[in-house]
Amino acid sequence: MKLITNAPRGTSDILPSETYKWQYVEKLLRKISTNFNFKEIRFPTFEHSELFNRAVGDETDVVQKEMYTFFDKGDRSISLRPEGTASSMRSILQNGLYGNALPIKVYYLINCFRYEKPQAGRFREFHQFGIEVYGTEKITADVEIISFAQSIFDTIGLEGITLEINSIGCKECRADYHKALKIYFEKYSDKLCNTCLDRLVKNPMRILDCKCPTCKEIAISAPKITDYLCENCNADFEKAKEYLKTLNIKFTVNPSIVRGLDYYNGLVFEFISSDIGAQGTVAGGGRYNGLSKELSDIEISGLGFAMGLERLILLMEKQNKFTTPDKSPTIFIASLNDKYLEYALLLTSKLRKCNISAECDINDRTLKAQMKYANKIGAEYVVVIGDNEVESGIADIKNMNTGEVKKFKLENLEVFLSNTTLKI
């Protein structure tokens, strides 16, 4: 086959035979969100670039190397969203929702774009389920969002996912930590990559998640933020650990988790699976109390997490968490020849109005070919419309699974189909 072009690298088609998995996951995530009393928020696929530059951070890999940024016809710098937190916060601020009862709890199901090197579990267009909570500074909220993520894995019954937590402190503890990092990394200034040399001046913490092998190696022995936490941050971190134990959520403390986005402070966490290769982080998030002030003159605290749906689905496939897809359509109305097509069309339309999945021939096929097609698409029942059926109003309805044939009044067909136990 000749095709003028394939889909761009790092994007994928989700084919009709696979969409049931996505629908299942999305339905489940919406249900869990409702159980936790989160409401859906939707925001644009693209924003003014300055939103991400400011929120995600000029020094991050996401902004520096991975963002799809272009000038629109009005000469404005626009970027496709690399994540949802910045847009969600922008929307809460722009629409004045911070004046509502607090906390505000929202969730989103979105596609995101990052120009990364594609590999298993890493794409240039990918999908996230995310939640954000606004207007609470209490550590119980941090624990609540972790327990939300945990409940997703528990509901699905996924195994082998570990939770790693860290605290990256507040502005105060971070000032001392930055100084310590600067002193440490300056010793390696002849070995760091050019981007990290720049980060050394502007934001040394970003060196900790550089993907260059040499920088990664150097970062291993860098000072740890947990040694620089102020009293409050330390107390919050300890409380979070206690609450997690109370909720029976297992975790390990990983002082090297700094997250790849600039807005975080306080508790951060990642859920990691060893089952899906190098890109094992299924979900990640944390607190970002300073973000609203970066974007506006309003101060409202925030926290949340996002989960990569491709990674979640990959994991579910590996652990056989999908049941077989629904079969459809329920019934195929075949016509003996094109004389009966109109009758078949009418009957099909009537059944559909009764909420029954029905199909008839729209390809001008012979009866034999129609039967073959009905079989291929997995129709559960087939009815053939000919002279006798039109005249008597009675037809044989064939169960395609058992081969059983029953006579039925065509005007009662929908009653039979809605009562049948075989119905999907």
The contact set with ligand HAM (CB under 6 A) reads 83-85, 114, 116, 122-123, 126, 128, 130, 132, 260-261, 281-286, 304-308, 310-311
Query: Of 111 and 357, which CB lies nearer to ligand HAM in the complex structure?
Result: 111
CB atoms within 10 A of CB 281: 18
Q: Which residue's beta carbon is nearest to the bound ligand HAM?
A: 308
Query: Of 11 and 234, which CB lies nearer to ligand HAM in the complex structure?
Result: 11
Strands (DSSP E) contained in 204-315 are: 252-253, 265-273, 281-287, 302-308
Q: How far is the CB of 132 from ligand HAM (least distance, A)?
A: 5
Query: Of 105 and 311, which CB lies nearer to ligand HAM in the complex structure?
Result: 311
Q: How far is the CB of 41 from ligand HAM (least distance, A)?
A: 12
Phi, psi of 10 (to 5 degrees): 85, 0
Q: How far is the CB of 174 from ligand HAM (least distance, A)?
A: 18
DSSP H or E segment with residue 91: helix 85-94
Q: How far is the CB of 112 from ligand HAM (least distance, A)?
A: 7
Residue that is written with structure tokens 């570990």 in the block: 162
Query: Of 310 and 414, which CB lies nearer to ligand HAM in the complex structure?
Result: 310
Phi, psi of 396 (to 5 degrees): -85, 130
Q: How far is the CB of 40 from ligand HAM (least distance, A)?
A: 15
Query: Of 123 and 228, which CB lies nearer to ligand HAM in the complex structure?
Result: 123
Strands 358-360, 331-335: pairing kind: parallel
Q: How far is the CB of 282 from ligand HAM (least distance, A)?
A: 5
For the chain, the first-to-last Cα distance in angstroms comes to: 36
Report d(CA 403, CA 398) in Å as an integer: 6
CB atoms within 10 A of CB 81: 25
Q: How far is the CB of 230 from ligand HAM (least distance, A)?
A: 22
Q: How far is the CB of 196 from ligand HAM (least distance, A)?
A: 19
Given a contact cutoff of 8 angstroms between Cβ atoms, the answer to whether 169 and 258 are in contact is: no
Report d(CA 195, CA 174) in Å as an integer: 21
Which residues make beta-bridge pairs with 71?
Answer: 77
Report d(CA 315, CA 159) in Å as an integer: 9
Query: Of 281 and 335, which CB lies nearer to ligand HAM in the complex structure?
Result: 281
Residue 11 tokens read as 């994007």
Query: Of 122 and 365, which CB lies nearer to ligand HAM in the complex structure?
Result: 122
Query: Of 271 and 340, which CB lies nearer to ligand HAM in the complex structure?
Result: 271
CB atoms within 10 A of CB 418: 13
Given a contact cutoff of 8 angstroms between Cβ atoms, the answer to whether 69 and 189 are in contact is: no
